[in-house]
Chains A and B, each alone.
Chain A
Amino acid sequence: MGVVQPLPGSFRDPSGNVYRVEGRILRTVNECFAPDFDFVTSTGLFKNLAAEGLLLPFEVVSSEILKLSDPKPRYVLETPRLPFISFPYEWSFSALKAAALLHVRIHLQALEAGVTLSDASAYNMQFQGNQPVFIDHLSFRRYHSGEMWVGHRQFCEQFLNPLLLRALFGISHNAWYRGTQEGITTGEIRRLLKWRHYWKWNVVTHVVLQDLFQKTSTQGTKSFQDTSLATASFPLSSFKHMLKKLSTWLSQLTPLNTGESTWGDYDKTCSYSSMETTSKKQFILEFTQKVQPALVWDFGCNTGEYSETALEGGARYVVGFDFDQGALERSYHRAGERRLPFQALFMDAANPSPNQGWNGQERESLQARASADAVFALALVHHLAIARNIPLVQVVNWLIALAPQGVIEFVPKNDPMAQELLRLRQDIFPDYTVEHFIALLHEKAGIVKTETVSKSGRMLVWFKRR
């Protein structure tokens, strides 16, 4: 085995790195961090948090497995592999909020044990279904009396400000967050504030004052540059009080303008007959019972109804994608209410998450991150081929490349929903026919089963890549 390279996203913290070796996830603890790691272990915090399901459990394994010499790690930890890695710019409002609340909860629990968190990166959170879990064991270190919350600024940028963007202004965080990758700065949120926001004490402190102090200290007009700030202290009682108040505030944040969702009530308002829904569910059930996929990607998952059917059929984990915030919220709550291994993420199928960050590698694209065992594209193709002008051949090839098997729904032009897309525009899609669609599929895949599920001629196709 050659020299293994750490995962491209794990270069920031000198305490250790993350490696993926033959499907195993390994995290090194370097010499420089070993005293802190030993201390945190001795407090029992790791065990307690893992027992509550708040922190990913780990086992210390032989450091020889990585054959690293410079630096030679003191410990190598192995953690269970998560079914899917997602990033905060793909999370719904509720998911980001749950992650923020968990971060604060863990920090409070850590402080009780004489431990603090060295950062507040939202990328240290992952999801199992709709449950967030903390994954970075090297963020925990010994708390020194009087020290500040060093991760506060990062917490605001990566958790609080993106939530405020939606809660105060009704703008979802996803596009902005994906653009910056590090969240939304406090200065940017402050510039958006209206006078009516100034009566809220939490807004005044965490946004207005923080930004004001930041600006006055960097303008060179004040003497904040001296070392007294670096050695200044923050009483533990104030530290805990700040976290508790923040947690209360976060738990009260709700999205503004929740009535604007197009698809959130789709399954309630659209004209699907119960017969059609039953037929589709039966088809999905049969597919998943036969294929038993470990990971399903459900593009255009809407409220997660068919994702749930896939789980009933035997799929082990389903990741749904949608760009409608209302649909994502309902999916999130569906997963929570029924404790489903189902996670709904913000994603525009015409613009999926790319490789990005430092060196274009820090955060992997959707396809680089994982490969699905099955893909669903139910009532999606017409949105890409007609509404977004993507040639049908490209849509078909993209779907076949995503997974070895899957179910695609073809919505013909005469269907009311397809007609709606064409209502105000010229029909420039002469090739958009079911015959052409089947012919394109045949070029790269076999067709296991087809079924017409509506009077308008909507057709489900089970394909298997050759």
Chain B
Amino acid sequence: MESAVGCEKECEMAKVLVHAREVISKMRHVGNFLVVSIIVVIFGFENSALAYLDPGTGSMVLQLLLGGIAGVVVILKLYWSRFVGLFRGHAREESEHSSSEDQK
């Protein structure tokens, strides 16, 4: 009995670990996507011509931040449902998903 219970517990533990790994890997994907998107938003445009006026590094970094925030907002809007689903519905969806994965 004990061993059966222990096996069940181990199985549960393994499932949880698999779920956690899945979630982390998904989060990594989303995280990487965000980072890449921000970089694209910030640095991915055509080079600007240097002006005769020194814009000042403080002003430039501020604009990067303002531009970055706007970029993040757009990205968050686009991927909000997926992002929320990751936390909200993962227990049910992920268990179904992972059990089908386990059977493979």
Contacts and interface: CB of A to CB of B under 8 A. Distances in A.
A150 B45 contact: no
Nearest to A245: B66
Contacts of A322: none
B55 interface: yes
Given A233-B44, A235-B71, A242-B63, A153 B49 contact: no
A405 interface: no
A151 B57 contact: no
Contacts of B61: 213, 217, 224, 229
A153 B47 contact: no
20 contacts: A118-B51, A119-B52, A146-B44, A146-B48, A147-B49, A149-B59, A151-B53, A153-B58, A209-B58, A217-B58, A231-B43, A232-B43, A233-B45, A233-B48, A234-B45, A234-B66, A238-B67, A238-B70, A238-B71, A239-B67
Given A118-B52, A148-B63, A154-B53, A215 B45 contact: no
Given A119-B51, A212-B58, 10 more contacts: A13-B52, A144-B46, A147-B48, A147-B49, A152-B55, A205-B62, A209-B58, A214-B57, A217-B58, A232-B42
B46 to A, nearest CB: 5
A33 to B, nearest CB: 10
A77 B50 CA distance: 25
Contacts of A146: 44-48
Contacts of A211: 58
A145 B49 CA distance: 10
A213 B71 CA distance: 20
Given A151-B55, A153-B55, A214-B57, A235 B41 contact: yes
A340 B55 CA distance: 38
Contact of A215 (B53, B58, B67): B58
Interface in B70-89: 70-71
Contacts of B64: 232, 234
Contacts of B46: 144-146, 233
B59 A152 contact: yes
Interface of B: 41-67, 70-71
Interface of A: 12-15, 118-119, 144-154, 156, 186, 205-206, 209-215, 217-218, 224, 228-235, 237-239, 241-242
A148 B61 CA distance: 10
B74 to A, nearest CB: 8
Contacts of A156: 59
Contact of A229 (B44, B49, B60): B60
B57 A217 contact: yes
B97 to A, nearest CB: 36
Contacts of B48: 144, 146-148, 231, 233
B70 to A, nearest CB: 4
Nearest to B69: A238
Contacts of A224: 57, 61
Contacts of B51: 118-119, 150
B47 A231 contact: yes
A147 B51 CA distance: 10
B43 A150 contact: no
Leading 10 A-B pairs by shortest Cβ distance: A146-B45, A214-B58, A147-B48, A233-B45, A153-B56, A213-B61, A217-B57, A153-B59, A238-B67, A213-B58
Most buried by B among A15, A145, A233, A237: A233
B42 A233 contact: yes
Nearest to A209: B62
